[in-house]
Each structure stands twice: as C-alpha cells, then as structure tokens.
Structure 1
C-alpha cells in the first residue's frame, strides 16, 4: 500500500511509524507499544486474533488495543495513491472512545434442543449435535427412509399448534392426537406391516384420514400395547432452549417474520455452519439492550386512539406491539435483534438507538468528514454498510482490486460499518451533509427485510426533497443494492458521475441526544448555507407524504374548537389559549403523526407535509378562533359560540332537552346548578 506516514500523522495529530511485518518478525515493536501509556491502534484486521493473543501474553501491557481496516477499504484499490485523506479519516475515527456501556438482556440455555421435521432428517441432524445438546425430535412425517430402528432420542408426535419464545424459552404446544404412544412404541414395524390401508408410516403416526378402523394394528402391537384409539387427544406443552426447524419455509405454525428469534434456526441440510452455531448456544449469553424508549415523546396513541404505527409496522422481528389503552408501544427486548429500524422511522425520537447512541455515531461521522477534508480530501461519500454481509462485500471488493480484477473502493468513498444499515436515518444523514458529505450511500444486501428498504427509501425521498428545495443540486442520498463484490464495484464507480452541491462551510454542531434537536440543527445549518439567493428561496418546501415535518390545515367552518386535538397532540404542536377561544399551532413541533386527524370529531384537520422556511415556523400561530359564548344568566364566558350552537342544534329535538332544560344548556356550570336547584324548590312550594 502506498502509505505516507508523515502525512497521515499530521492529519490525525499523531506520530506514526509504518511496519510491514508487525504480526511476525516486528512483533516486538507491537509489544513495546502495548507497554506505553495511551492506546494502540492496529491498522489491519487480518491478524486481529494473533495480535489479541500476543497482547494477552505481553507482560506489562497497559494500552487498550483497537483495530481498523485500511487495506481493503483504501489501500487495496486502483485509487490507493489518492486514498491518503480517507485513510487518515479512518485512523482518526479509530481513536474515538468506545461507546459507553448500556444495559444488557440475558439469555440462559441448558442446551435442550427440539428438532422439528421428518424423522429420518431429524435423527441425522441430531447425530451431529447430540454430544453437546439434549435432543428431542418432533416427528413431522417419516421422510424418505423413516427413522432408525434404534431409538436414540425422545420423539414427540401429534399436531403442532404453537411455537413461541426465544433463546432459552421456547414454548412448544401440540395436540397429541396420535393413537400410537411413541414412548411405548418399540419400532418393531408390526403395525406398519399389518395396516391394510398403509395408514401408518415409519414415523409411527396414524393417518386418521386414511384409517378405516380395522384395528388390526392394535392386535399386531400385542404385548407392547402402544396403540390406543380411545386415548383422548390432549393438548400438551413443553419448554425448550433451542429449535431446529427442518420443515419447508411455508409450513405452519412457525416464525414467519424476516428476523426470527435468537435460538431458532431453519436448516435445509446443507449448511453445517447452522449446526455449529447451535452447538455453541449452551450457557449464559448477554446482548445489548439496543433501544431506549421515552413514552412522553411517543406519538403512538392518545385516549385509546392510535396515530403513529411506524415502529410497529417496520419491525422485522415482531418485537414491538401496540398498547393503545396505556398510550404506548411495548418492545420485547428478548426478541429485538438491534436493527434500529424502529428508531429510524420514529418521528419524535421516543425510540432511540442505544448502542452506539446517536451522539456517538454522529461524532464518528463528524470525525471522519472533518479529518478527510483537513487532509485534503474532496467530495466525501459515506458508505454505510452492515457489520456482517455488507462488510464482507467491501472486503471481497478490496481483495479483488488487489488481484487486479476490480477497481476497489474509490478514494473518496469512506466505508462505515453499522450494526445494521436501518439504524441510521434522516437526522444523521442530513447532519452528515451539513458536515460536508457530498453523498450518503446505504449499502443493502440480502440481510435487510423488505420493509426496511421501503422505510429507508421513504426517508431518503424526504431528505432529498428538503435538500433540493434549499438549492442543493444533485443526488445526496442513495440506497445501493448489491449482492456481489462485482455489483458493488460497478455501483461505486458510478457515484462520481455527477457532482453534488454541498454547504460552502461545514457545520460545527455536535449531534444532540434527541432526534428532533439534531434534525433542527442540521436543517438550520443547511438553510443558512443555502446556495439560493434570499429572493429565490421558497416560503415552504413541499415534502413527500409521511415526512415527519409539516403543518396542519384546519377547516374553520367545521371546527368547533372542542380542543380534543390539543389533548391528543404528543408534541405540543397544537395548543389552546387560556385567555381566548383559540386553537394555536407551532409548526416546528409537529411530527405529522396524525393523532389530531383521527381524534377530531368533525374531521376538520388535514396534514400537510412541508418545511416552512420563515421565522413563523418557530412561533405559535392561530389556526382557528371564534367568539366566546356568554352565560345567559350571569354573562360569564364559558365556551365558544360555535360549540354551544352546535350542541343546541343536536339536542334541540331530544325529549330530555325541552323548555327550561334546553335553556340551561346556555348557562355556565354554576348558573345551571343554581337554576336547577331553584326550579326544584319552586316545585316543592307549589306542591305544599
């Protein structure tokens, strides 16, 4: 790799020394560095395991050890000689502190494995893991050859009716409607031979639809007494730690979601890696609690009315459920896989990604982009990819470039590994553009659920509409789909075909912990740096449906100022005026959740997604007002003229509201009670 240690050191304010065989004959220099104060960053990941072992064996090692890949991401590319600024940026980001620890979710597995499928295939799979795991087979047909005559594992039979849970806590329910008791069955095959309808297979279960009730199988079973057609079909259940499913993907009941629970595996009999992973899942395991939830910010529901369902609809693990009566959503941390898609589409920031936190991720973006520019780089592109398949594609591309069969990662493209590509969205993308990124590209592979891609694309359309409205020409956000390194290479080479307009001066703000605050900071900087002259800037930028920014239109003729929308609004965008019958609106606060629309009894409210660029966006404005209604008895205002008139019109024909009763509706609460009490006393006097 053509590396300039002096230039790289100047860019990250560190003194660098280049080593060519640090993991071999120069290992002494590595050990010496470990004994010094400060951190050690190794800019190669190929021998990460070896470096870790050497560090563990180095006496007096005090320096924390980190790794960063500058080889496949920059040094192995046809643009390697121009990749210095990118490599400097990657080195600078590697020096950032580790994210603060977060609470964890614990799983405990004793290794109880349930294998569901044809008996022959289940027993073959069991033979490969039974030395480590406690195997039980749930027979779903005999398979091609039936099971082994030697019964090695407990076998359950019947109709599977329920399967739910996660690693260490899978609850399986079935209806034991098989007349053959598999615990008593000796697999002598006498019943199979005797059955005239061939209704008994080598899984030793009776096909009741084919059985003609000759009962010769019962006689053939003889002393074993394993067959009893009079046995009640009881519902049974049991708990397992792990599940290996050998059935066809469309079989039910099973986990149909894109991201099944941890501890549940499908296997077609070909990939032995699946069985190797199963063998490792015995013991106690922890994973980060990836999300933080703030109910007071949640726009999901108010007063049992559901508005925003973005997180519930996008979750590929079915870990999020609606709890409308309690005005919240509920996230099952055991099912959550940490994709972060819910936090990306959440308009308010009620759901936030916790590991790494958004502020840590934003600091990484800022460090990468600022270091890149300071080192002389131009037109920076952030390539966001997953730590699994996405990172593997980037590394494959780098190796292909080293062999001369691909161009490799361009010099201005900075790969950034994420736990999942769906964990970063509108707020951080716009912040990256504000920092100076010409493009933010999200690499999607076959890992992503379809709804994730739809959600990311919708967010990109909103961000791009906003940027174009501010005068930033070009395409700044891209969703790049690639299944092979060749596809990735072709896509990356096209990124530089057009130039993107970016802010003349990069933003300096720090990413805020709150999503809306970060979004406002990014919008404020992008608007201030807009290349459009002030006279040409629009008053408002239209945004696509579903955008988390916008205003409301109130039909003043239909609105009665009942203010039910005010109590429903989770963001305090709609407000009343204690001094006058007015409905006020602060556009900056609106998240377009739709609760006001669904709550309004008069259907008088409509959402309008947009970005208002005038100062009025931050100020309350009156969207409807009316004259107050004054009590006909004491003259005190107690409601709105329109609301009282509407009530009188609806109740005028009701038999309970005639004469004096209807007149009392025109009074304030105090006068209504006084008038009713006076009328009752007059009636008593008359009776006397």
Structure 2
C-alpha cells in the first residue's frame, strides 16, 4: 500500500499546493485540512484507520498517537513541513524543499541494535551532610538505598536504608553494573542497646550498585558525567537540582534498552603494532572514556559509550563506524534530500544539520521569527559529531551549495572544528558551524549565507568513508590536483629520506593498511598513497628516523597504484652469485665488522658477511672453527654389543 500525505495548513497559516506536491514527490496527497488536531479530528481518525498515512504535522503527535491508540491502530508517521518549510518569510519557491523533506521521510530507517540493561534499584548516595540522609528518606520507598558519608556525629536510628562511612577511592561501570571501591569503610552495627555504632575501618571494600546519586558537591566521578547512564550529580546546596535528581533516580528501576551506537572492525584498527603506538584519534576524542587500548587495536565499552559519534568521524581506517543509524544511511539521507530538491527545480540548496535541540530552535524561529530560508533544508541527526568531513564533502558533491551545522551543548566543538577545516581544505565552499541558541540569530545567519560552490554534475558516491571522500572531492575539483591538508589529516603521502633509509623494511611489517610494500625480487620500498592512513606507525618504528609525512589529497591516478619510494642495487653473493640484501648495506656492514669484531677477524670469516644465507651456513659448517661442530658422535650400540658384554661376565 502506498503512503498518503495528510496535509494541514494550520488554520490557513501554512499554504500548501497538494497537486504540485503530489506531482513533485509521486505520492498521494489528501485534501488540505485546517484543524486536524481540533475540529477535524474525525477526518484525522479516518486517515489513521486507513493506514500508511504520513501526517505532515509534528506539533500534535501526542494527540494523534492517542487517537491511534483509541482505534487500536499503529501510530502514523510524522513529517514536519510547517516549522521547517511553511512558516517562513522567504518568498522564494518552497516546493523543492517540500519535495526533499517528503522524499527523506519516505526512507526506511534501519532498526537500532540494543542491549537490555537490568536495574534492580540498588542506589548508592554519595553525600557529605544531612542532605544525603534527607534524600535517602525520600527514595527509600522506591529504591534500595545506601548512603556513603565521610563521617557523621549522630548515628541514624532508621533501618529503612543503610548508612556506611568511608572514602570512595574509585568507581567504574554504568547503569546496572557500577562497581565501587571504598577505603576506611565502617559499617553500621545495629546490635545491642543504646545508640547504634560503626565498626572498625578497613580498606579495599568492594560493592556493586545500579545507580549512583552524587551529592558531594565536588568533582564528578566520571568524565562527561551527564553522558554516564545511571550516574546523577546534583549540587547539594540547590534544592531545585536535588529535587530534579531525586525524581530522575527514582525512575531508574527495571529493564532498559541500551543502544549499540558503534560497530567495530578490530582488524582495520591502526592503533598500534608490535608495541609501537600509531593512531590515537578516537582515544583522544572520546568524552566518556569508553574507548581503551586492547593489544594492537582499541575496544569500545558499549555500556559506557554515549553515542556522540566523534570516534566514527575521526577514524581513518573504518575500524569504528556509527551504527545508530548506520553511516551509509546518513549518506543516503543526504543524497536523497539533494536529489529530490534538485529534481523539483531547486538550485544549490543549503543543508542545515541539527539535533533534537536544534529542531526546537528551528520551531521557535518559525513561530516567532522569520523561519528558515526557502533554500535551506534541515536534517536532524541523533548526534552532531557523526557528521564529519566525509558527510560534508559528500553533501557538496550531491548538489548542496552550502552546509551548516548548528551545534548545541554536548557537541565536541574541537572535533567539529577540525572536521570542518579538513572539509574546507578538501573542497572549499561554504561549510560553517553555527553557535547560537537564539532563533532570530540563527535566521539572520542563514539568510545572510550564500552558496559559494556548486557542482555542475552532482554525484552520489558509494563505498567507505574514504572512498566517498575521494570520489566527492574529485567530482568537485574536476581534475588531478594535489590538495594540501591540515596537519593530522588522515590522507597524505609518506616521505622517505633515501640517504638515511637502509631498506630494512621494518615499516612494511607494521603498516596496518598495506600502503607500504616491498618487491620480493628487488630491494624496493613501495607506497600506495590512497591507502595511507597517516597513522604514524611507520615513522615511529623506523630505526633511522627516515620517514616523515605530507598531509594532502592526491586526486591523480598515481595515488591508486604503487610507486617506488626508495630502491638500491642488490648485492651478489660472493660464493654463488645469488642476489640478496642491499649492496650499500652489505658494504657498510663489511667495513664496520671485518677485522674489528671477534667473529670476523680472519678474511675467511669476513667473507661470510658477503654470502647469501645458504652459502653462509655451508661456509660456517666447513670452517675450521665450525660453530655447529661437536665431538664425534658415538657408535650406535647393537645386539651383539649387549651379548658380548654378557659373555665377558
């Protein structure tokens, strides 16, 4: 069954041409209603009962959901055409933008993978004074509460919750699986008459809990504490924040779904090889500490990961990919928006990337201000840092003339800055980061921004992020240019000082992407620039410090094939003539060792340096001081030997 757009002009404030919209999108459109959420609710119910309806209003979703529930029918899909397109003072044509938004809404969103997390309501309250006890008294009927205080004068007489004394030394985990270590731990002794007392202190106490409520008013236990599930921090001097924390914690009981935000491919990771450290981009960017080294690669703790997406944007090899939704779906959304807009007559539209908070700002701008320009198409994502340089240049290549990202609190601005700078170095154009919570200021910026780069023939590249980036940049530049990039960029060349390089080929064995290679028939160091991650491993392992990097994007075809970085004449074995090693290296070794080292004092011994491995073993075996020689092997004993021995006795 095909979907139908259920249109509403919101009391004649949002004019819509259903015939033009249907022709541009290829979808059936209802008549234009004016008050589906009030006086025309019966018509809304009929549309819901018919099924496969897309209500083009996002303001009254709660009402329509209730209506669907009363009809025992699944809730309809929703599409906000009013705030994102209709309510705007821009007199330019809105049909291309409407067509783009409808086309995007028609995409099937992949289901997000998740884990079930169980919380039994075991709550640890960290406090410093009576406030923690008051909060425990409020939560005792909802959670199993333990209060940890550094010390106290008056022992509480209640057993509705537990009180322990001690110093919290460490805490790990997240909702449902926290583990804490407490030193100088003193537990309550409820036995005997009189006031209750605490036992003797002991170090190394270990406990587990589901929820931690931190009322100490000090540094948080975890980095990015607002992103740690199950950890709630509140200022004990602010009754308002304490009350909000109590309400939040009281609901942390039951089974919760924890999204699996990223997908990892450990074999692609360029973090380290042979104890040498290479790429640390994800480790440096992760705000929650969810990523840690694990041998030659990194591992992501899915329970700690908050899904900011910075690691996936920065990963040069594709070892970490965002998966909620998958990265390829984000590229598909971008390309769908661009194609639908251009097919409907749009010219170099702008892409505005927002999160849920950004969508609220757009709504405020539409209701109280100028709204969005007619040529700016908003795209809401779960996490802004999932939009990296690959998505930005792909948008430009798909036909967008400008890309803007509206950042909000919680966005890693440093990561966003670096990705925008990299995208600008790759394609130039108009790619900006907007930092304002003011709806009017947002409108002013967008109305004042014009497209500075347009692609003559839009492309829709596919593949990995690296492949998409290269294809998009090549389409925008239309040639075989070599583009210089900022330091730290994941694209570039390896430069070798041929005077220092001895062709030991240590770099080849550690290269995680296969960008460096050798020639089995000749002493050569080969390099394929397109595969280079600029991870730093080859430079770190080089014993002669002969390797440096040149961050750049080489659009020529030579970047896709192997080129020779260094080569030398092979050395011919003085015994059999077989080629082996590097002539200059063998000559240097002979010069340094012959007559100067205890093993190569004689001309015969020094000559072995210039032999291949087979001839060297043969020469050593037959030499006067054969290192393999041993005393004469004893004759094997036979049956006759045993019989003759018995006869002698």
Equivalent in the alignment of 2:487: 545
Q: Separation in 2 of the partners of 1:120 and 1:684?
A: 81
Query: What do you get for the CA RMSD once the two structures are aligned?
Result: 2.8
Using the TM superposition, give the Cα deviation of residue 183 of structure 1 relative to its aligned residue in structure 2, in angstroms: 3.8
Indicate which of 206, 209, 229 corresponds to 1:237: 206
* Residue equivalent to 1:123: 133
TM-score (norm. length: structure 1): 0.83
| Residue correspondence of structure 1 range 243-262 to structure 2 within 5 A | 243-250=212-219, 254-257=221-224, 260-262=227-229
SS at 1:159's partner residue?
strand
CA shift, 1:486, in A, is 4.1
Alignment gaps of 5+ in structure 2: 1-13, 633-649
Alpha-carbon contact 1:344-1:425 (below 8 Å) kept: yes
Deviations 1:398-419 (A, max 9, x none): 2322xxxxx2222222111111
**Aligned twin of 2:96:** 85
- Listed as ranges, the gaps of 5+ residues in structure 1 are 187-221, 402-406, 469-474, 531-536
Deviations 1:77-121 (A, max 9, x none): 22276433222211221111121x353222110011111112322
Q: Does structure 2 retain, via aligned residues, the 8 Å contact 1:117–1:245?
A: yes
Partner of 1:655: 598
Alignment of 1:20 onto 2:31: no
Partner of 1:480: 434
Secondary structure at the aligned position of 1:581 is classed as: strand
CA contact (8 A) 1:113 1:241 kept: yes
Where do 1:217-236 residues align within 5 Å? 224=195, 226=197, 231-236=200-205
**What are the superposed Cα offsets for residues 30-82 of structure 1, whole Å, 9 maximum, x if unpaired?**
34334446x321111222122222223325x47x7311222222222222764
Deviation at 1:447, TM superposition (A): 1.6
- Judging changes above 3 Å, is the alpha-carbon distance between structure 1 residues 654 and 280 closer, same or farther for their aligned structure 2 residues? farther
Aligned mate of 1:418, from 381, 393, 398: 381
What is the TM-score with the length of structure 2 in the denominator?
0.88
Matches within 5 A, 1:530-541: 539-541=481-483
What's 1:108 paired with? 118
Partners of 1:119 and 1:147 within 8 A in 2: no
Please give the per-residue CA displacement for 1:182-205, whole angstroms capped at 9, x wherever unaligned: 44499xxxxxxxxxxxxxxxxxxx
Query: How big is each residue's C-alpha offset from its partner over 1:398-443, in whole Å with a ceiling of 9 and x where there is no partner?
Result: 2322xxxxx2222222111111100121111111100111111111
Residue in structure 2 matched with residue 195 of structure 1 by the alignment: none
User: Deviation per CA, 1:3-52, whole angstroms, max 9, x where unpaired?
Assistant: 22222222211121222222334333334334446x32111122212222
Q: Residues 366-416 of structure 1, C-alpha deviation per residue, up to 9 Å, x if partnerless? A: 1111122222323311111122x3233222322322xxxxx2222222111
Task: Identify which of 334, 340, 343 aligns with 2:312.
Answer: 343
Structure 1 contact 295–328 (Cα < 8 Å) conserved:
yes
Q: Are the aligned partners of 2:470 and 2:555 in contact in 1 as well (CA < 8 Å)? A: no
The structure showing larger relative contact order (alpha-carbon pairs under 8 Å, at least 6 residues apart) is: 1
TM-fit CA distance, 1:288:
2.3
Partner of 2:280: 309
Q: 1:446 and 2:416 equivalent?
A: no
Structure 1 position 223, deviation (Å): 5.3
Contact 1:339–1:420 at 8 Å: present in 2 too?
A: yes
Q: Indicate the SS of the match to 1:483.
A: coil
3-state SS in 2 of match to 1:234: coil
Structure 1 residue 131 displacement after superposition: 2.6
Give the stretch that moved more between structures: 539-548 or 598-607: 539-548
1:588 corresponds, among 530, 534, 539, to 530
Q: How does 1:392-471 map to 2 (within 5 A)?
A: 392-401=360-369, 407-448=370-411, 452-468=412-428
Alpha-carbon distance in 2 for matches of 1:684, 1:141: 74
Structure 1 pair 35/109, CA: closer, same or farther in 2 (3 Å)?
Answer: same
Show the counterpart of 1:671: 615
- Is the contact made by 1:301 and 1:327 (CA closer than 8 Å) also made in structure 2? yes
> Is the counterpart of residue 494 in structure 1 residue 448 in structure 2?
yes
Residue 157 of structure 1 aligns to a residue whose secondary structure is strand
CA contact (8 A) 1:123 1:147 kept: no
